[in-house]
């Protein structure tokens, strides 16, 4: 089970589609990419202050272990420990950054995957907002969601191909050969 917190800017857009694009989903738990690629992860997340502090902490830990006379393996292990600490706290640091940027947490949602969490959130969110008919009409008649639209369109295209004169000519030639 995965849990995400949903964050929205202090002044969201008035258009519901633009407002939905502004929402940020942040996972609870370990940020695995931050464990293996901490500097790259911090750059991608645009967490400049945390990046500077992380680099200063790495330099400080390395300098401290070397000044104590420890070998390079101890310095390496302490750097790995610092990366693990970052990975465990990375998503909380991301929430802190969003909060500093004026975002506010609007919900927490749980599900088996990120997609399921997003579907659950937006199902509740659209019910709470007055979106009007223009945004929801194409999805009202679909009980299973957008996946059924794709299946229906594909089957309609196949039916059209079978009904075309070219398909009938090919079918009659093929049936004539088998006789």
Give which of 31, 7, 29, 30 is closest to 19, Cα–Cα: 7
Q: Say how far apart CA 158 and CA 42 lie, in whole Å.
A: 48
What is the spatial order of strands in the sheet that 24-27 belongs to?
Answer: 24-27, 2-9, 103-111
pLDDT at 75: 84
Highest mean pLDDT among 96-105, 121-130, 133-142: 96-105
- Domain coordinates in residue numbering, the chain: 2-131, 148-178
pLDDT of 25-77, one tens digit each?
999 999 999 999 999 999 999 999 999 999 999 999 988 888 888 788 888 89
Rg for the chain, CA atoms, rounded: 27
Tokens of 61: 């830990």
pLDDT at 141: 46
pLDDT at 15: 87
């Amino acid at each position: 089970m995965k849990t995400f917190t949903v964050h929205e800017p202090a002044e969201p857009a008035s258009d519901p589609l633009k407002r939905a694009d502004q929402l940020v989903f942040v996972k609870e738990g370990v940020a695995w990419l931050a464990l293996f690629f901490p500097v790259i992860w911090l750059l991608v997340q645009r967490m400049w202050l945390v990046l500077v502090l992380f680099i200063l902490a790495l330099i400080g830990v390395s300098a401290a272990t070397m000044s104590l006379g420890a070998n390079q393996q101890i310095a390496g292990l302490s750097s790995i420990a610092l990366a693990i600490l970052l990975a465990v706290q990375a998503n909380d640091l991301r929430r802190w950054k969003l909060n500093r940027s004026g975002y506010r947490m609007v919900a927490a949602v749980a599900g088996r995957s990120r997609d399921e969490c997003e579907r659950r959130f937006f199902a509740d969110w659209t019910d709470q907002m007055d979106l009007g008919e223009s945004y929801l009409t194409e999805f009202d008649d679909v009980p299973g969601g957008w996946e059924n639209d794709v299946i229906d369109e594909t089957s309609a295209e196949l039916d059209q191909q079978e009904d075309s004169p070219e398909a009938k000519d090919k079918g009659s030639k093929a049936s004539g050969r088998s006789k």
